[in-house]
Amino acid sequence: MSRKTYYITTPIYYPSGKLHIGHSYTTVAADAMARYKRLQGYDVMFLTGTDEHGQKIQRVAAENGMTPKQYVDRIVSGIKDLWQMMKISYDKFIRTTDEEHAACVQKVFKALYDKGDIYISEYEGWYCTPCESFWTETQLVDGMCPDCGRGVEKTREESYFFRLSKYQDRLIKHIEENPDFIQPVSRRNEMLNNFLRPGLEDLCVSRTSFDWGIPVSFDEKHVVYVWIDALSNYISALGYLTGNDEAFRRYWPADVHLVGKEIIRFHTIIWPAMLMALDLPLPRQVFGHGWLVLEGGKMSKSKGNVVDPVILIEKYGLDAIRYFLLREVPFGADGVFSNEALISRINSDLANDLGNLVSRTVAMIRKYFDGLLPGQGEEGEFDAELKKELLGLKHRTEELLDNLQFSLALTEIWKAISRTNKYIDETVPWILAKDESKKGRLARVLYNLAESIRIVSILLQPFMPETPAKIWDQLSIDSDETGWETAGVWGVYKPTRPVRQGEIIFPRIDIEKELEKLSSAVPDTGKDGPGEKGDKKHRSRDAEGSASGDMTQISIEDFAKLDLRVAKVLSAEKVEKSDKLLKLRLQVGAEEKQVVSGIAQYYSAEELAGKTLILVANLKPAKIRGIESQGMILAATDESEGKLTLVTVDGDISPGAKVS
């Protein structure tokens, strides 16, 4: 029986400059899916490529003294290098300048013309060159392009048109009858309500004012313009309408087109209408993900180091970057990329949770059993619960990945990692090790840790192409113990070879020093590159999404002026004749400090004793109701709900420890 197929695509990228980390978002997500489906045994076709035609490229190439082909060749090789560095496991890279693609587009155009779905007419309107879009007078916003807000040029020329309007009703019906076709649901409603129901206009699909494109075979003064060229890549890559269309018959219709939200309209309206006109089945799903923006604004290559994927990978490693992209933001929503968030994720999730689990387990097997476990040992308390959590993990991860919920799938995996770390605290192997009669139990505890790590590492493969193999090497996990299906089985690990302590898989980063180094990023020049267009609505939404809001930004030097310390409450008492004030005596390292704080309405003096808080230790002392206050303790307040809660630390740490 032949294997089930899975066809996934990314958009084809504009080759007009270096890509930033936001660009890699779609491709990393598609790669995770492709890897996952391959691991499950599917016959996968993962397509990506470049969208190389158009007036803008022709102009930029001329400005650089090159032919358009010379210009795109140079940039496309840079894009391919980046994908190689990011271990993007595409099966085919299509370029719209490929001969086979051009031949297919010409045939598609002719087929639609013969059918009467493409006709000649005249276009008069406004043209936005960066967006390669025509607009009518009424569509302009303050005389500017409604997509990008830039200037437009008046144009009048003979053009071919695609009868998009003819497919409106069939499209609405298809979208209504297939709730999974457009995901997430919010984008589906947006397409129906904002574009389809108000009515579609026919679409201009050829140009005569430039020639960097695919000529219309029966009318060579026209070149096929943007969407019929670009969108056809999904079928031309499979050999559609060529002598060899075996791949097309095998993989079409696509299982999912992954695209950014700004191009979802083209993929859920124009593309399906083209397919309907060609009598081809529609893709099963178009998933429109959100945008990754920088705090305070959209991402742009001119932001320098901060968003340069090559620099980020060289600094922090590929798996850390891929993990951050897939974990930080729920897939579908907009998210903020910041170096600080990236480093915190690396330190807490990767270095602490996962990295420590592996290194502690290997270290204990080495210390207590000279690196080689004597079989599975004796069962005991806590084993069943750990086993249950880990055994359900594969199923939970698969369910979420099948819905492209990368972040939630990783959250599940991290819950299992935390459960495993908790198992160490529960079973306290170092105490078992002190008693010779508990050796069998100790062996079992360490076996269970290794087995949990084996399961987790198998499930991490779609997200991280490098780390699982490093873990297997350290724990001497054999290749026959790492099959995808074995992640759902307990007791597969055979400790027959000694474990070895390798290098630390995710070293901790000194966040303060690192942020200081990174703050030397090049300032934004405001220049736009490809992939940064988007309609005004998206832009303002992105700006609203910024965590910094309207607050003045501070530099890392400003922040470093604060001396924040962990402080333990020794005692607390009410300040006489005040409803609001409490006087606290705090232990801060070897010192004791006295602080007056307005928290009496939220905390009683009794419940504060023993709490570990955060103190601004270098605040100038002040007298409050005649009592000296030597600093300020931090609290979070929600004024709308009248709530206040003190900021405290997660875990045991000595008073006086610096907070940064």
Closest separation in Å from C-beta 262 to ligand MSP: 6
Choice between 241 and 263, CB closer to ligand MSP: 263
Q: Scan for tokens 């750990």, then name that residue.
A: 386
**Backbone phi and psi for residue 388, each to the nearest 5 degrees, phi listed first:** -60, -45
Q: How many CA atoms lie within 13 A of 188 on its CB side?
A: 18
Segment interacting with ligand MSP (CB under 6 A) among 5-13, 39-47, 558-566, 577-585: 5-13
Q: Which residues pair with 533 in a beta bridge?
A: none
DSSP 491: S
Nearer residue to ligand MSP within complex by CB, 309 or 531: 531
- Smallest gap, in angstroms, from Cβ of residue 110 to ligand MSP? 20
Q: CB under 6 A: which stretch of 79-87, 184-192, 260-268, 407-415 binds ligand MSP?
A: 260-268
- Does residue 231 touch ligand MSP according to CB under 6 A? yes
**In the bound complex, what is the minimum distance in angstroms from residue 96's beta carbon to ligand MSP?**
9
Least distance to ligand MSP from the beta carbon of 371, Å?
45
**CB of 286 or CB of 459, closer to ligand MSP:** 286
| Region binding ligand MSP by CB under 6 A among candidate stretches 7-15, 197-205, 241-249, 608-616 | 7-15
Closest CB to ligand MSP among 51 and 514? 51
Among 330, 285, 401, residue whose Cα is nearest residue 7: 285
Q: Residues 11, 54, 125, 146: which binds ligand MSP (CB under 6 A)?
A: 11
Query: Angle, to 10 degrees, between the axis of helix 356-369 and the axis of helix 406-427?
Result: 30
Sheet holding 206-207, edge to edge: 206-207, 219-224, 214-216
User: Hey, how many other C-beta atoms are within 10 angstroms of the C-beta on 575?
Assistant: 18
In whole angstroms, what is the distance from residue 269 CA to residue 237 CA? 21
* Of 263, 270, 477, 633, the one binding ligand MSP by CB under 6 A: 263
Please tell me the distance from the alpha carbon of residue 394 to that of residue 401, in angstroms, as a whole number.
10
Contact between residue 40 and residue 4 where contact means Cβ atoms under 8 Å apart: no
Residue 158, Cα to own-chain centre: how many angstroms?
A: 43
Q: Which two tokens stand for residue 251?
A: 């993989």
Helices 406-427 and 439-459 cross at an angle (nearest 10°) of 170
Binding mask 517-536 for ligand MSP (x = CB under 6 A): -------------xx-----
Contact pattern for ligand MSP over residues 297 through 336, marking x by CB under 6 A:
--x-------------------------------------
- From 79-87, 258-266, 457-465, 610-618, give the range in contact with ligand MSP by CB under 6 A: 258-266
Nearest distance, CB of residue 128 and ligand MSP, angstroms = 14
Minimum distance from CB of 13 to ligand MSP (Å)? 4
The residues facing 258 across adjacent strands are 287
**Residue choice 68, 146, 184, 260 for contact with ligand MSP (CB under 6 A):** 260
Window of 225-233, 244-252, 557-565, 600-608 that interacts with ligand MSP by CB under 6 A:
225-233
Q: Binding residues for ligand MSP, how many (CB under 6 A)?
A: 21
The DSSP code sequence of 517-581 is: HHTTPPPP-----TT----HHHHHHHHHH-TTTTSPP--HHHHHT--EEEEEEEEEEEPTT-SS-
- Determine the residue type at 339: N
259 binds ligand MSP (CB under 6 A): yes
Q: Count the neighbouring beta carbons within 10 Å of the beta carbon of residue 579.
A: 9
Residues 6+ apart with CB under 8 A from 597: 581, 582, 584, 629, 632, 633
CB of 121 to ligand MSP, least distance (A): 24
In degrees, rounded to 5, the angle at the alpha carbon of residue 336 between the alpha carbons of residues 333 and 339 is: 145
Q: How far apart are CA 103 and CA 215, in angstroms?
A: 10
Phi, psi (rounded to 5 degrees) for 458 = -65, -45
Q: Which of 6, 7, 8, 13 binds ligand MSP (CB under 6 A)?
A: 13
Instruction: For residue 483, give both structure tokens.
Output: 């099959």
Residue closer to ligand MSP by CB (options 307, 449) is 307
Q: How far apart are CA 351 and CA 348, in angstroms?
A: 6
Instruction: Give the per-residue contact string, 232-251, with ligand MSP (x = CB under 6 A; - = no).
Output: -x------------------
- The two tokens of residue 271 are 């593309």
Q: Which is nearer to ligand MSP, 319 or 542 (CB)?
A: 542
With CB under 6 A as the contact rule, which of the stretches 19-27, 193-201, 321-329, 473-481 interacts with ligand MSP? 19-27
Of 544 and 579, nearer to ligand MSP (C-beta) is: 544
Tokens, residue 360: 């502690």
Report if residue 26 touches ligand MSP, rule: CB under 6 A. Answer: yes
Check residue 12 for interaction with ligand MSP (CB under 6 A).
yes
Place of tokens 């679409």: 203
Taking the least distance from each CB to ligand MSP, the nearer of 12 and 424 is 12
CB-CB contact of 205 with 121 (8 Å): no
Least gap, CB of 542 to ligand MSP (angstroms): 9
Beta bridge partners of 571: 585
Minimum CB distance to ligand MSP smaller for 22 or for 68: 22
By the rule CB under 6 A, 291 interacts with ligand MSP: yes
> Residue 283, interface with ligand MSP (CB under 6 A)?
no
Q: How far is residue 270's CA from residue 263's CA, in Å, rounded to a whole number?
A: 11
Site for ligand MSP in 40-59 (CB under 6 A): 51
Residue nearest to ligand MSP (CB): 260
* Window of 135-143, 226-234, 353-361, 609-617 that interacts with ligand MSP by CB under 6 A: 226-234
Nearer to ligand MSP, 56 or 585 (CB): 56
Nearest-approach distance from CB 89 to ligand MSP, in angstroms: 18
Residues of this chain that bind ligand MSP (CB under 6 A): 11-14, 22-23, 25-26, 51, 230-231, 233, 259-260, 262-263, 291-292, 299, 530-531
